[in-house]
Structure 1
Amino acid sequence: MPVPGKLRNPAPARLRKRAEFLAVRRGEKRRGRLFLLEVLDRGDDAPPRVGFTVTKKVGNAVVRNRVRRRLKEAVRVQAAGDMRRGSDYVIVGREDVLAAPFAELGAELSRRLRKAR
Structure 2
Amino acid sequence: MDLCTLKKNKEFNFVYRRGKPAGSRDMTLVAAKSRYGGVRVGFSVSKKVGNSVVRNRARRRMKEAYRTLLPELKGNHSLVFVARESIARAEFHEICSQMRKLAQRAGILSGDPACRAFQGKPVGGKK
TM-score by length of 1: 0.81
Question: Where has structure 1 moved over 6 Å in runs of 4 or more?
Answer: none
Q: CA, structure 1 residues 57+45, in 2 after alignment: closer, same or farther (shift >3 Å)? A: closer
3-state SS, counterpart of residue 53 of structure 2: helix
Equivalent position to 1:86, from 76, 84, 94? 76
Uncovered stretches (5+) of structure 1, i.e. residues with no partner: 1-9
Uncovered stretches (5+) of structure 2, i.e. residues with no partner: 107-127
Q: CA deviation at 1:97?
A: 2.0
Once residues 96 and 81 of structure 1 are traced to their aligned partners in structure 2, the CA distance between those partners, rounded to angstroms, is: 27
Q: Cα RMSD (Å) of the superposition? A: 1.6
Show the counterpart of 1:62: 53
Q: Is 2:25 the counterpart of 1:33?
A: yes
Query: Which amino acid in 2 is paired with 1:69?
Result: R
Query: Which amino acid in 2 is paired with 1:93?
Result: A
Contact 2:49 2:88 in 1 (8 A): no
Q: CA deviation at 1:52?
A: 0.4
- Matched pairs, number: 105
| Aligned pairs (5 A) from 1:1-117 | 10-26=1-17, 27-42=19-34, 44=35, 46-77=37-68, 79-115=69-105
Query: Which amino acid in 2 is paired with 1:30?
Result: A
Show the counterpart of 1:7: none
Contact 2:49 2:86 in 1 (8 A): no
Contact 1:39 1:87 in 2 (8 A): yes
Contact 1:11 1:75 in 2 (8 A): no
Contact 1:12 1:47 in 2 (8 A): no
TM-score by length of 2: 0.75
Once residues 50 and 88 of structure 2 are traced to their aligned partners in structure 1, the CA distance between those partners, rounded to angstroms, is: 12
Q: CA deviation at 1:108?
A: 1.1
Query: Which amino acid in 1 is paired with 2:16?
Result: R
Once residues 97 and 82 of structure 1 are traced to their aligned partners in structure 2, the CA distance between those partners, rounded to angstroms, is: 23
Percent sequence identity over aligned pairs? 37
Q: CA, structure 1 residues 82+98, in 2 after alignment: closer, same or farther (shift >3 Å)? A: farther
